[in-house]
Amino acid sequence: MSDRLREQIEEQIATGQLPPGSALDEVALATQFGVSRTPVREALIQLTAEGLVELRPRRGAVVASVGPARLLEMFEVMAELEAMCARLAARRMSESEQAELLAAHRACEAARGDPDAYFYCNERFHNAIYAGSHNGFLAEEAAALQRRLRPYRRLQLRVRDRMANSFAEHEAVVAALQAGDAAAAANALRRHVSVQGERFGDLVASLQALDHAA
């Protein structure tokens, strides 16, 4: 029960229904999901361990807010983890795993124009690369940080032209993986995940707009 609740609350955080700084009242959540407070409390503890929720004195549980400097650090680490996944996947992906990657890539193409649909197809694309690395520990670490960055990766897709650029970047990753070029795959995925310069400025501006709207 607590695991299902964690997934449901995490989804609301990722999709912006619960933006950074939102209070997470145990009674309200228990009523919303039709459960007792105990599994809600357990779910919030799990989300706190993941870094998506903070426990603040006198405020209780709130959706975690990440400052720009910290966010940049997290994306830097995410870019390196994914680059490692791509480097290994270029050498280790099976034919069936490559087929899944291509299916996810085609799904991203079909979803362009719909940020929410693209968000889920994009997750499928990246998860296919994690699996293709055939390094369970690396895949777990990449997935854990991906979960923590989900609200921000989703927000990026609402920046003008980001979906089109993201898909073009995916094309470079797919080509390198199909060619078995480990260095090119790692570099392509690193560039895709990194948020530097204008991209980072756009992301911070979107976060500020979200804060003002809240």
pLDDT digits (tens, 9 = 90+) for 98-128: 999 999 999 999 999 898 899 999 999 999 9
Tens digit of pLDDT for each residue in 18-48?
Answer: 888 888 988 999 999 899 989 998 999 988 9
Domain boundaries, the chain: 2-63, 68-213
| Six token digits for residue 199 | 């991209």
Instruction: Give the alpha-carbon dihedral of 167, 172, 175, 176, to 10 degrees.
Output: -140
Predicted TM-score (pTM) of the model is: 0.81
Domain 2-63 and domain 68-213, same fold? Reply is no
Cβ-based neighbours of 7, under 8 Å, separated by 6 or more: none
pLDDT of residue 211: 60
Residue entry with tokens 């004195």: 57
Cβ-based neighbours of 22, under 8 Å, separated by 6 or more: 62, 63, 214
Please give the radius of gyration of the chain, using alpha carbons only, rounded to the nearest integer. Answer: 18
Tens digit of pLDDT for each residue in 185-206?
Answer: 999 999 999 876 667 777 777 7
Question: Are 163 and 118 within 8 A, CB to CB?
Answer: yes
Residue 14 has pLDDT above 90, yes or no: no
Average pLDDT, integer, range 54-72: 83
- Domain covering 2-63, topology: Arc Repressor Mutant, subunit A (1.10.10)
Helix axes 136-156, 2-14, angle to 10 degrees: 40
Architecture, CATH, for domain 68-213: Up-down Bundle (1.20)
Gap between the Cα atoms of 19 and 22, Å rounded = 6
| Six token digits for residue 18 | 């619960």
Three-state DSSP class for 55?
strand
